Amino acid sequence: MSTQKMVTLSTITIGDILSGSICSGSKKVDPDAILPFIIVPIILVTGTISLNTTVILMGMTGMGVLYVISRPRKKNRSPFFFSWTLSSMLYMYLVYQLVVVKFFQITIIENFVFVTLVACTCYLFYKMKAIADHELTGSSKGKEYSPVLTADSQYCQICQIEVNERLFHSIWWDCCVFRPNYKYFLFAQICAFATIVVGTNYGLTTACHPFMSFGSIVLPENCDHVYAQFRTALIFVTCIYGLGYLLVVILVLLHQLYNVIPKCENPLQKFVDAFDV
């Protein structure tokens, strides 16, 4: 690295980072995209102080989420929420690999199951976003998106574009969910559900006293002592945070079951129609 470049890098301040004045190529770094990577670990580490701190922080996080989803959609036009999802996934996974696994209570097969579930979830969400980006921006062809508007076209206030066959916009994944990517969204949520159930179970049975139930399934029993050590407290707080995410995933899946799936083409009905004369 040249001396000039080193001097330039050494003069960058946190203020520069937060004000988004660092350019990578021609692209500015949005401070909204960085903040979650700072806030999420602060929440997880501060929560290890005591049970009361954990309850207060998780309650505040939950209320923050309720506030965000209750305000007008166009106000949520920010990369903050997608970064929040990414940073949560990253830190929960790091706590699992760097703290939970170090207790040597997870077998190789259990670890393999969890890592496979994480990989499937990431792949499905990646496909969902890739299809949305490809369809809406036509980035692969390097041309502007010019939709052929149909009766079911809807204007997305966050993407600021007319989207054909749009179902809803997910601020947490920063993309529109419409018919072409809906199956990936749905299977990713189901996979995320399984991943969080398995991950929080491994974490809680490591940090708390485990007991055998339903044959060979291990469940956490007594978590009274977790705040005595930083490592067990961090696992416990991360698992509580993960269970909060699990609640959100369950609500999303229930919402799909009652509101969105009936609007989609029913493949069984199509099959029945084919034989209708």
* Separation of alpha carbons 236 and 163, rounded Å: 42
Nearer to Zn ion, 110 or 162 (CB): 162
Q: Please, which of residues 178-217 interact with Zn ion by CB under 5 A?
A: none
Instruction: Kindly calculate the radius of gyration of the chain based on its CA atoms and give it in whole angstroms.
Output: 22
Q: What is the smallest separation between the CB atom of 81 and Zn ion, expressed in angstroms?
A: 12
For Zn ion, which residue of 43, 92, 95, 159 counts as binding (CB under 5 A)?
Answer: 159
117 contributes a contact to Zn ion by CB under 5 A? no
The window from 138-146, 163-171, 249-257, 262-270 that contacts Zn ion (CB under 5 A) reads 163-171
- Continuous segment of H or E residues that includes residue 180: helix 179-207
Stretch that binds Zn ion, among 33-41, 62-70, 140-148, 161-169 (CB under 5 A): 161-169
Return the number of the residue (111 or 154) whose C-beta is nearest Zn ion: 154
Write down the least CB distance from residue 158 to Zn ion, Å.
Answer: 5
Minimum CB separation of residue 193 from Zn ion in Å reads 24
Q: Specify the stretch interacting with Zn ion by CB under 5 A; choose among 39-47, 151-159, 201-209, 223-231.
A: 151-159
Q: Closest Cα to residue 191, out of 275, 122, 139?
A: 122
**Interface with Zn ion in residues 57-86 (CB under 5 A):** none
- Reported for 244-251, long-range contacts at CB under 8 A and 24+ positions apart, including other chains, are 244/58, 244/61, 244/62, 245/88, 245/92, 245/192, 245/196, 246/193, 246/196, 246/197, 246/200, 248/65, 249/189, 249/192, 249/193, 249/196, 250/193
Q: Are 240 and 54 in contact (CB under 8 A)?
A: yes
| Under rule CB under 5 A, residue 169 binds Zn ion | yes
Please give the size of the binding site for Zn ion, defined by CB under 5 A.
5
* C-alpha closest to that of 100 among 86, 114, 89: 114
At 123, is the secondary structure helix, strand, or coil?
helix
- Kindly tell me which residue out of 57, 89, 176, 191 binds Zn ion, with binding defined by CB under 5 A: 176
Per CB under 5 A, which region of 113-121, 138-146, 169-177, 209-217 contacts Zn ion?
169-177
Piece of the chain touching Zn ion by CB under 5 A; list 14-22, 90-98, 152-160, 214-222: 152-160
Applying CB under 5 A, does 156 fall inside the site for Zn ion?
A: yes
Q: What would the two tokens of residue 198 be?
A: 């398995």
Buried/exposed code over 195-223 (b: 16+ C-beta within 10 A; e: otherwise): bbebbbbbbbbbbbebeeeeeeebebeeb
Judged by beta carbon, residue 114 or residue 173, the one nearer Zn ion is 173
Residues that bind Zn ion (CB under 5 A): 156, 158-159, 169, 176
